[in-house]
């Protein structure tokens, strides 16, 4: 799944190709770790 990560109000939000919200994270590192978990 391809996601776009955006910084919004000091945290990271992930959106799919259709622009739908998928998850949020406090840091970019946390967001990347979540992406790794979803890819496994």
Looking at the DSSP assignment, which residues form a beta bridge with residue 4? 15
User: What is the pLDDT at residue 1?
Assistant: 72
How many distinct structural domains can be found in the chain?
1
Q: What is the pLDDT of residue 7?
A: 97
Tell me what pLDDT residue 22 has.
96
Three-class DSSP labels, 13-25: EEECCCCCEEEEE
Q: How far is CA 20 from CA 6, 16, in A?
A: 12, 5
pLDDT at position 40 = 85
Which residue range(s) make up the domain with 26?
4-39
Do 17 and 27 meet the contact criterion of CB atoms below 8 Å apart? Answer: no
3-state secondary structure of 31: helix
Query: For the chain, how long is the longest CA-to-CA vector?
Result: 29
pLDDT digits (tens, 9 = 90+) for 1-40: 789 999 999 999 999 999 999 999 999 999 999 999 989 8
């Amino acid at each position: 799944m391809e996601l776009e990560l955006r910084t919004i109000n000091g945290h990271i939000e992930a959106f799919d190709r259709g622009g739908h919200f998928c998850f949020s994270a406090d840091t970019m590192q946390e967001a990347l770790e979540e992406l790794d978990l979803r890819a496994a």
